[in-house]
Structure 1
């Protein structure tokens, strides 16, 4: 039987970044915003997990077969690394998405970040970021892959980073990464798909525009937002829980709880052009429509 859990869905939009694609309110406090946010509560399905063979659980944490258990969000420019699988977008010089699988085995090991350096690949360079005011923000986080020095080093390829506001990268985004790791204490596996978004904003003429900065001679795109989609396999094998987050690429008050950035997964699919639910359906017996209230 399919079970459900409910979560609030609110995006935090900074100054000048309007609630565009999904028309979600900003997190600014006050009774009016709280009431509007309440209308965005959504029912997220807990899906039955297919039978998992022992071999799937004993492969290396970064094994691509296990990583892609729930399918590919898109099929362009796929690249497999030691610790993740990614789809690279040559237009933006960043990844469209990165998928990794977290469990206690992937989070423990002898690897050390001090031996890692950012490595140039594809069409961006360290010079593109130098003096830009943006961090080289990991999509697949280094701390997620302590099981192997090479696995951690592979997270330092520039194709696995995107320009990220330093305050966001070091504060709220880091908190979200820590949350993903903490969930491995409650779930069998935590599949994490991370990527950039380029959302429209309403400008003075009342029209919506997609505008973003580019960095360096290679014109590396600066995302307006970032997303994380979590597929959480329950330890007892009874189901899969879905959580999806969108954060703006700007400073966020640390007092704002991460739950305020939960959104319906369709919001991310619509904004990114990626597909998650159809892939999960292939691994489940049924999927009921997600409803909002």
Structure 2
């Protein structure tokens, strides 16, 4: 009898410990993880998003884009990049998938097969290693564009690394990027995915009450020239792309931002 009673006491003690552990995880650990994940999403302020066809805009958890059905890729991709996003977490590379948010269906990844072009990221996977969900989201085909390997692994990669360095320095940045899409450009695959001849990137930071930006327009090819070579004004990008950037920013600030971008200080 005594042995049986002792076993029951041990059993009840173990049960209390297990219940306590589950309660601790549920009320302390899981809410903390959920909070971190939500903060990492860093919702984009409205002024970051360019003027767009609302029906073609797709808002994901970790970036927003406007999809061009004509060119089978995004006209622009916009996302936030903070110091906390920059981790070296090892992630298993997933397969590319069609974007479920694109009503007209995004391009099939098979368009790129044997095309001679990389599936080049616009919002880099390397900027989204902080979360498996965020990382996987960058592999939607709406977030890729045909890129030559020496461009994708060369100057484009150098620019992505430089943007991360600025995020470490300034903490919070907003990035808008894409290929310059026009009629008459070459295309690949059975769906006719346009191959841009130029790619652009805008990086913006808040400096007190002011906004400071730097913009790049880079020919699609191999180059060893320094990144500073490709700095342009946002006005120039608007001419090239036909996109109205920062339309909701007050006119006086917008003019200063778009015309004077070449004079702002961004250390390389």
8 Å Cα contact 1:83-1:152 kept in structure 2: no
Matched, 1:194 2:213: no
Does 2:222 align with 1:251?
Answer: yes
Q: Which residue of 1 aligns with 2:9?
A: none
Residue 238 to residue 119, structure 1, CA distance change in 2 (3 Å): same
| Distance of 1:222 and 1:285 partners within structure 2 | 34
Q: Which residue of structure 2 lines up, in the alignment, with residue 176 of structure 1?
A: 159
Residue 115 of structure 2 is aligned to residue 132 of structure 1: yes
The answer to whether 1:266 aligns with 2:235 is yes
| Runs of 5+ consecutive residues of structure 2 not aligned to the other structure | 1-36, 100-104, 264-268
Q: Distance in 2 between matches of 1:258 and 1:267?
A: 17
Alpha-carbon distance between aligned partners in 2 of 1:104 and 1:180, rounded to the nearest angstrom: 11
Equivalent-residue separation in structure 1 for 2:140 and 2:123 (angstroms): 10
Contact between 2:120 and 2:145, CA under 8 Å: does it hold in 1? yes
Distance 1:175 1:218, change over 3 A: same
- 2:59 pairs with one of 58, 62, 80: 80
CA deviation after TM superposition for structure 1 residue 69, in Å:
4.1
Cα distance in 2 for partners of 1:285, 1:163 equals 35
Q: Give the alignment partner of residue 143 of structure 2, picking from 129, 148, 160.
A: 160
Deviation, structure 1 residue 141: 0.3
Shift of 1:97: 0.4
Shift of 1:146: 1.7
Question: What are the equivalent positions in structure 2 for 1:1-293 lying under 5 Å apart?
Answer: 60-63=39-42, 66-76=43-53, 77-108=56-87, 110=89, 112-121=90-99, 122-198=105-181, 211-234=184-207, 237-252=208-223, 254=224, 256-281=225-250, 287-288=255-256, 290=259
TM-score by length of 2: 0.74
Unaligned ranges ≥5, structure 1:
1-57, 200-209
> Partners of 2:95 and 2:39 in 1: how far apart?
23
Verify the 8 A CA contact 1:141 1:155 in the aligned structure 2.
yes
Aligned residue for 1:67, secondary structure, equals: coil
Match of 1:14 in 2: none
CA distance in structure 1 between the partners assigned to 2:152 and 2:48 by the alignment = 28
Q: Calculate the aligned-residue CA RMSD, in Å.
A: 2.5
The structural deviation recorded for 1:125 is 1.2
The Cα offsets for residues 45-95 of structure 1, whole Å up to 9 and x where unpaired, read as xxxxxxxxxxxxx952324xx313424212221111121001100010010
Contact 2:48–2:246 (CA under 8 A) maintained in structure 1: no
Q: CA offset at residue 120 of structure 1?
A: 2.4
Query: Which of these two proteins has the greater Rg computed from alpha carbons?
Result: 2
Contact 1:62 1:100 in 2 (8 A): no
Q: Counterpart of 1:114 in 2: which secondary structure?
A: coil
